[in-house]
Every structure is written in C-alpha cells, then in structure tokens.
Amino acid sequence: MTECLQGCLSDCLCLSFQICHSECQLCSSNKDLTPNDWIENPDCVAFEFWKNETENELDKQCDQGCMTSLNCCVTSFPCLHGGKCIVAKQYSEQRFVCKCSNGYHGHRCEKMCSPGFKGINCDEKIISCRGYNNGSAVSGYYTIFGGKNNHTYTVFCDFSSNTTWTLVQSYSFENKDKFQSPFSVNNASNRKNVPFWKNRRLSKSKINSIISDSTKWRFTCNYDSNGTVYIDYVRGLTTELDIIHFNDAGCVKVQYINVRGWSCTNCTVYMMQFHDIPLHVRIDFCELNANDWKECDDHGSGRDPWFDFESSFGYYGCYNTEHRCSSSLSATTQFWLGG
C-alpha cells in the first residue's frame, strides 16, 4: 500500500487509488466527483485523500503519516505545451492548476487558442508577435489583430533572440522609390503576387497598434536570405525614437549600431525623417562618425546638397554598395518593432 500511496501522491493526475489483490491502480477521479462510475468490487480496496478541514490545504495531506510531503508538480508533468504546474493550495476537484503558455488553454493546457488569441480563456487579442512568445515559438508567419477595424492579419515574427520582433516593413533596393515616405504617412504596401520581402509595409494604424506593445525598434539587411546579421544593423528604444512623430534630423541614442564595420554601443547616431524623406541613418555625425562615408557628386541636380551624403537603412539618395542593404538590386531592408 505504501508504494501505491506514494505513486498516487507523486502523480498530480491521481485523485484516488485502489488495490485489487496485489495490483495498484491509480485513478484520475474519485467517488465524490463521479459517483456513478464507481462500482463496488469485493476484490478491491479503494483509498481517497483525506481532507483537512482546518488547514484546507493539499500540501498538508502527507503530514499525518509520511516522512516528507510530496510536490506532484516536481514528480510529474501534467501541464502540456510548456505550461507551468502549480500545486493547488485549496482543496478542490484537482490537485494542481496549470499556467498555460500563450496560445493554449484548458485544465492541462491541452487546447489551442484560435489564431490571434491568447490567455487562459483565449479571449485576449494578440496585437504583436510578443503575444506568441512562449519560449518555444519558431520564427514564421502569425496572425495578430490591428488596423482601423481591429481585424486579423498576417505578420512575420522573429523569435531568434531575447527580443520578439514584428516585421513592419521590408523592401528590395530595386523597389526603394516606392518607400520614400515617413512612417507618419499611411503608405501600406501588401500587393498580391509580389514577394513578401520585396514590397511590404503595414498600414499606419497597424504600425501604431504594434508600437503600443513594443519597447524597441531595429533595422536589418537581407533578413530574408541571411537571418539576423549584426553587420549593417541598428537597434534602439521606442522611448528614444518616436518613429511616427519624428520629423527632424539629429542625434538619436541607440543600443547598438554597425554600418559597414563601423560600430558603437549605447551611443548616438544621426537619423533623419521628414514629410517627404523616409527614416534612415547617416554615419557622418554624432558619436558614430565614420571617416569613410561616401559623398555623391550630384549637386547640379537641383536637389538639396544636404542629402548628397551616404544614407543607410533607407532613402538611398546616395548609397554605398558595401552596405548590405544597398549591395545589389535584390538586397532588402527591414524595419521591425519588438520587445
């Protein structure tokens, strides 16, 4: 009997047990929960947990006769899909509760939420890729809510680092002229039959929705072919740069930047965005002050000569082919929001 009792105590799913001759049988229910399912068998002796009316705590159940109390969440794994098992303090129909990972619900986290929902009851709308981050998520396409009508739509999520990233914009260098507006302008681009990474930008309302669930931003180059590479890469905080309302040129603090090997950490870089100029980086000012930046001899074009200096991660009025985002017509530039 001792071994049978220990086996039941060690298994969170066990609510009672019986010994038939010398055979131990663990049961996931008891007479109180399912009285109609119990049939008296003269060859079996049934046992249930004793309820301490004073303590009313399941973790005291072994104190009367056992050498040590058992935590069934340690000795068994009842929660599925990465759910966390917690011993139930109050006597109830179950000995444990599961704190489910995002996207799952049910007593044992056995049920999957509909796309775009999370929470114990699957009633919380996911508005960025952060809603899918349960520690085991795989980078790919996911469904979230957002936009003017708060409908579902598909985004690409990157879970390859400690930060979860939602893709906001991606375009090829060949299509750069279609992406010359700031983020304050609603310039959504999601044309069918056009490769996702070559011509993609979310609407302003969707971007605002993702911003509300984000703490960081970043630019990457050629993510579609190389993943995250920290050469030609910049990352910063949304508290340091408001991408919607930034309409200026100046030094912006970033967490990390690398442009063609020139890099710095927790430093300032020169960033620019105006009503007719997209957000981009220049490397000839502020704390990241590279000494090999390119100047384009195009002053006779009538364009403001201020813009005839090398730009990175956007605009590309003057560009350097050694920068991975502008290395070829098929090179791509991505902008992400994350947290």
State how far the Cα of 102 lies from the Cα of 118, in Å rounded to an integer. 5
Would you state the pLDDT for residue 319?
95
Q: Token pair of 282, please? A: 């220049």
pTM listed for this prediction? 0.77
Q: Token pair of 225, please? A: 């072919």
In the structure, what pLDDT confidence band is assigned to residue 105 with cuts at 50, 70 and 90? confident
Would you state the pLDDT for residue 61?
47
Q: What is the pLDDT of residues 36-60, one digit of tens each?
A: 877 778 889 988 876 555 554 444 4
- Judge whether 281 and 309 are in contact, CB under 8 Å: no
Higher pLDDT, 47 or 103: 47
**Mean pLDDT, the chain, integer:** 88
Q: What is the pLDDT of residues 260-293, one digit of tens each?
A: 999 999 999 999 999 999 999 999 889 998 878 8
Would you state the pLDDT for residue 67?
45
Q: What does the radius of gyration of the chain's CA atoms come to, in whole angstroms?
A: 29
Q: What is the mean pLDDT of residues 306-321?
A: 90
DSSP 270: E
Q: What is the pLDDT of residues 214-262, one digit of tens each?
A: 999 999 999 999 999 999 999 999 999 999 999 999 999 999 999 999 9
For residue 211, give the 3-state DSSP assignment: helix
CA nearest 275: which of 237, 253, 295, 247? 247
Would you state the pLDDT for residue 284?
85
**Does the pLDDT value for residue 192 go beyond 80?**
no
Would you state the pLDDT for residue 219?
99
